[in-house]
Each structure stands twice: as structure tokens, then as C-alpha cells.
Structure 1
């Protein structure tokens, strides 16, 4: 098992296709900064992607751009095309819609990631990730996934929403893997920490056994470092204390168990390392703003399922 596998095992990225647009002529969209991780997939034609402070990128068919932190960005038909807000673009889409075989087709969406759980990793990623369809063989699985995504969005079939959610989850993992294997992680980032064998071992302990009674001393022992050196290296590389990371990971696993199992609140509390239901409830509400019971109700609500909007 590689350093990141024990983390990816628990990662879910169920998402939503916000819009699939078939357009021709002069057009442009600006999406303002918003919380979330977004993507644009160019299925056909060409488009230009812009992010403040970075060179404009020409997108070719099969290219995908991911915005891990939801940074403000623009997508346009030509380098100097004027942009409208995403809401205005969707409102006026009929004027741009084209059935012509050479129309540009863009699929836009977001990944429904548990940001509480994976925040250190998301912060470690650059503002945008551009994966080119024809760059090398490593992107072939991503290209195939995107073809499937486009097919599911365009054709309303039984189980389509479930298939789209699964495709997006797999797509995000492929994108993370592709980026981590092709880029050098910056010092002081989560991906850099995963390359430090001492810190990576402690992270693996937390990820794989969140219910253990972990203390700073026994995590340092697992990492093979002194207590003080471990605490220093962990904070410098991960960006928070070992206890802070452990708490957030435990509550992330708990949130998944609330949504995916029928276990009682007390049973979930024990599974993620809390000695009492009371202490678990208090920690969960402090971190996430709602009790475990309310979180379960929210996640299981039919209205909370990610819709698919096709434009």
C-alpha cells in the first residue's frame, strides 16, 4: 500500500454536474470565489481558461481543469471575449445554444468533498490543475472516465445520478494521483508530509485506526521520533497539531458512518475513539456546527442528493 492509499480509501467525492452547455459564437463565463472544488471538462471544441496571476490556457477537447479551492476564474470562447456571471450565462444560454456539429461542449460541475476531513490536502493543491487529454498515457483513465461522464449526463437512464456520483468520486482520485505523481510537493504542505516517512507513518496510524487511544507520545513512538521533534515536524508539514488532525479525521469518519450505516450514535462514538456519547456529541457540534443526529438527518434527506442540471 502506497503512502496515500490509506487516505484515499476513505475519500468520497460525490458531486454534481452543474451544467452541460453546447454553445457557439462569442461567449464567456466568470465564476467568483466560492467554497468547494469545481471542474470544467471540454468535451468538444476549444475554450480559454483564465485565473488571476497565471497565463491564460487554451483548452483542447478532452482537457479538464480543476479548481481545488474554488478560486475566481473565467472560461471564454476566445482570448478577449467578454465574460458574464455564471448565473447570467445560464439565464441567456438559449441565445448561444447550437446544434451545429462543431459547437463547443463544456461540462461544468463540482466535487462533493468532505472539506472538514481533507482540508490539509486541498490546501496543498495549486489554485488550478490542468490535465491535458493528449499529454501522456497516464491521463488515459481520466479521459475514459470523462467520456462516461458525458454519456451519463447526456442520456437520462436508470441509475444515472448514482453513476455520475461514482464517476466523479473516481475522477477526483485519479486527478489527485496524477497531480501527486507528476508534480513536486512544496515543503510545508500535506503532500510533502506524506513523503516524510516519519510523519507518513503517524498519518497512516491515524487514518487506519482512528478509534485507537492515540496520544502525542505513542504517535511519536510510531513515527520513530522524539515527542518534541515529532510535534514540530508534524505541525510544520501538515499545518496543524497531531491532536487537531486526529480530531478532524475521527469526525470525518464519523460523518461517513452516520450516512452509510445504521449504527447508533454511541456505537459510532466508540468506533472513532470517544469514550462517551456526550463527549462525541460535543466535539462533533463544535467542529461541524450541528449534532451527529442532525448531521445524519441532513445526509439522509432525499433533498440533499446532488442534482444533475443539464443546460
Structure 2
């Protein structure tokens, strides 16, 4: 991840905590496949995690599991515990809820990554990432952030929702970094492409300067490869053509500018490499299903700030 700063700079992963559950006894929950990137942080107690049909993994206090593609999975109190659907679990939560000091505490939430923008990277990740708590009392940025997250969730104060969103954005980056430093990227994946100095150079050009009128020839020249070899290596490693990736990135930046600035649609079009407001509107609607104006209204709506639920 050392050469990915130009990508991480624009990675806005502000998310939200869906629930903090304090449970005791025999319990189990199954969460079906859903779009999004989710996490489970075991703050206290033990639990067992498994992907649909996969082996069970014992979780210890401080462990975190991330589901990059929102895969179907189960959490349970013991390997033999039966699982219920999310709806049934919520319905029975009052029976399972415990105020006792030895209750199992699980913090569940979602990372608000723009999946359209970072899809090649998300698809390169495994269905689940399990990071264990550090042993021998050694702390890491990830473990420290998780402690802060638990504190903010348990002791809601002024600005807690904003703090949680920022903590989750940083947490996602730390998790990606910790995973990438401990796991070898598979050939043909986005993370592997970032280790290819030729393709990484082209990706840096796209990430840092989306407003430039990049062509296959100009990107190949920056990468130091022939046109045909660059196109072949890019598609094999990133999973799509350079033009498709460029469009994905430009529109991701545009979505952020729509949400975070008061720039006009025309100004955003120019900053993201579109020669006219019309061509930008057309490309944005084709890719995202709504016009830039509708996207701005949706992103800036106060209703898009889910509350923290403690159950």
C-alpha cells in the first residue's frame, strides 16, 4: 500500500454503526448477501464467525471481521448454536440482552465506501478479512481506533456521530493497510496491479489528474509500455479497460464534489475531464442512474446520516 497514497487520498469510507449488541446465552444470526462493506468488532466475550457454508472461526475480544462485498455470513455464540435471520434476531433481542459484566459485546456497522468508485479494489479483496487482536499487549493503530469506536458508541456525547464516521473512515484505511502487509496479492487483482510499476504509474496518473484528456496512447507512454502491451496488462490486472477505469474514477470524484462542495455542475465537469456539462450529465446518469443534480440532493440530504443503534 506504500504506493497507493494517490488512491487513498480520495477514499472516503465514512460509515456508521448499525448496532452494538450486548447479549448472553445461546444466540446466532445469519446475515444474507447485501450490497455494501460491513464489519463486526468483538469488543468483549467470544463468538464464532463463518461465511455461508464455510468453516467457523473463533473470535476473541478485539478481533474484527470485515465483509468487503457484503457476503452471506453467520455469527453465533458457540459452534453448535442455531442461527436466525436478522429480522428474527432483532425481534428476540430483548430476551438475549444482558447488562451483566460478562455479556458478549459486538459492534456492527458499515463502511460508506463509494463501491462504484473503488469496485476493482473491493473485488480484489477476499470475501472476509479477519484481523486478530494483537497479543503480548502490543497495540496497533487498528486496535486503538477500535477502542475509540467502542468508547464513542457506548458513551454518546456531543458530536459522537461525526466522530464515529471519521473513525470508521480511518479504520477502513488501517484495515486495508494491515491486510495488504500480511497477505500476498493475487495475480490479476487490483492490489497486484499496484505492485506492477508500469500499471501503477498509469493508475497514479488517473488518480491524481482525472481532468486530463487521457488516451490509451498517453497512458501507455506514462507507463513506459507499448500501446498493445499496456492495454493487455492493464485489463488482466485491473479487470477492465483503461478507459472504463478512468470513467469510473472520474465519476467517483464527481460524486464527492457534488456532496462536499458548492461547485456548479459545469465546474465539476471540467475538474473531472468532461468538455461540456452535457457530456458529463449524460455519462453520470448512464453510470449511476441519476443526474448529477439528483445525486447532489440525495447526498446532501440530512436523512442520509443513520443513527447509532444500541441494542
Deviations 1:69-115 (A, max 9, x none): 00000000000100011121112111011111111000011111100
Structure 1: give runs of 5+ residues left out of the alignment: none
Q: 1:67 to 1:247 in 2, by over 3 A?
A: same
Q: Which deviates more from structure 2 when the two are superposed, residues 222-231 or residues 2-11? A: 2-11
Contact 1:234 1:242 in 2 (8 A): yes
Q: Which residue of 2 aligns with 1:113?
A: 113
3-state secondary structure, aligned to 2:16 = strand
3-state secondary structure, aligned to 1:167 = helix
Deviations 1:116-167 (A, max 9, x none): 0000000000000000002588861111111111111111211111001001
| Offset, 1:307 | 2.2
Mapping 1:104-143, distance limit 5 Å: 104-134=104-134, 140-143=140-143
| Offset, 1:26 | 0.2
Contact 1:15 1:306 in 2 (8 A): no
Instruction: Give the Cα separation in 1 of the matches to 2:305 and 2:235.
Output: 36
Instruction: Give the Cα separation in 2 of the matches to 1:181 and 1:136.
Output: 20
Runs of 4+ in 1 over 4 A off after TM superposition: 135-139
3-state secondary structure, aligned to 1:296 = helix
Instruction: Give the Cα separation in 1 of the matches to 2:228 and 2:140.
Output: 45
Instruction: Give the Cα separation in 2 of the matches to 1:256 and 1:3.
Output: 22
Contact 1:131 1:139 in 2 (8 A): no
Q: Which residue of 2 aligns with 1:250?
A: 250
Q: Which residue of 2 aligns with 1:36?
A: 36
Q: Which residue of 2 aligns with 1:14?
A: 14
Structure 2: give runs of 5+ residues left out of the alignment: none
3-state secondary structure, aligned to 2:79 = coil
Q: Which residue of 1 aligns with 2:192?
A: 192
Q: Which residue of 1 aligns with 2:153?
A: 153
Q: Aligned pairs, how many?
A: 311
3-state secondary structure, aligned to 2:112 = strand
Mapping 1:89-100, distance limit 5 Å: 89-100=89-100
Mapping 1:161-180, distance limit 5 Å: 161-180=161-180
Contact 2:52 2:74 in 1 (8 A): no
Q: Which deviates more from structure 2 when the two are superposed, residues 153-162 or residues 129-138? A: 129-138
Contact 1:13 1:169 in 2 (8 A): yes
| Residue 209, structure 1, aligned to residue 200, structure 2 | no
3-state secondary structure, aligned to 1:113 = coil
3-state secondary structure, aligned to 1:134 = coil
Mapping 1:272-287, distance limit 5 Å: 272-287=272-287
Q: Which deviates more from structure 2 when the two are superposed, residues 286-295 or residues 140-149? A: 140-149
Q: Which residue of 1 aligns with 2:3?
A: 3
3-state secondary structure, aligned to 2:298 = helix
Q: Which residue of 1 aligns with 2:299?
A: 299
Q: What is the aligned-residue RMSD (CA, Å)? A: 1.3
Instruction: Give the Cα separation in 2 of the matches to 1:282 and 1:164.
Output: 35
TM-score scaled by structure 1? 0.98
| Offset, 1:306 | 2.9
Q: Which residue of 1 aligns with 2:77?
A: 77
TM-score scaled by structure 2? 0.98
